[in-house]
Amino acid sequence: MDIERAKLKYDRLSKDEAALLIIDHQSGLFQLVHDHVPDVFDRNVLALADTAKLFKLPTVVTTSKEDGPNGPLMPEVRARLPKVQVIRREGEINAWDSPEFVKAVKKTGRKQLIVAGITTDVCVAFVVLSALEAGYDVRVVTDASGSLCVGSAGGAIARMAMAGAQPMSWFAVASELMRDWRNDESGFTKLMVEHVPNYKHLIAAYEAKEA
């Protein structure tokens, strides 16, 4: 993507144009994440998966060497996306080097890619840079992606942003997909209450006031 163009134009996410890529959110690799508080990171990942369900986004899931220490896909993610095929890579560090993975991405028919995974500086960054080179519009969900430390995550996010990717939080992704509170019948409030404790308190206080 032309970086100058990216600075000038606000290309909003669209539920009709976006797909979610979940990269190596595996039970073993989860132990490597040290740039987020564990329970907060877990909640963010599940919130992103629920966002994809809420807006019916095509989702591509991949894992790396599940039979080794990386472990299987996080069970909570699998439970939320039971019908999504998991592309199990046996060696490729960059999932974009897997023909099966690229085929699945192309099959979605979407040009906006929302990417999250473990680790931010390797498995996420390599896919993002490859997708940008292939002509996709890419968003990186930074609070649902984890790395070995804050320093490695920060450098990776800067690298991806310089290449043309847009860093976002899962909340920003969900909000941009919904766009208008009058569309809340889709379940956005329920999503927030489930995954953001402070928002749950906000709603409880509002309901108590209305009672």
- Which residue among the candidates 123, 124, 127, 131 is catalytic per the annotation? 123
Asked if 190 and 67 touch (Cβ cutoff 8 Å), the reply is no
123 is catalytic: yes
HSE at residue 101, side-chain half, CA atoms within 13 A, is 25
DSSP 24-87: --BTTGGGG--SS-HHHHHHHHHHHHHHHHHTT--EEEEEE-TTTTT-SBPHHHHHHSTTSPEE
Quote the crossing angle between the two packed helices 125-133 and 150-163, to the nearest 10°.
0
Whats the size of the chain, residue-wise? 211
d(C-alpha 53, C-alpha 190), whole Å = 13
At 159, which helix (H) or strand (E)? helix 150-163
d(C-alpha 15, C-alpha 58), whole Å = 9
Just list the catalytic residues. 123
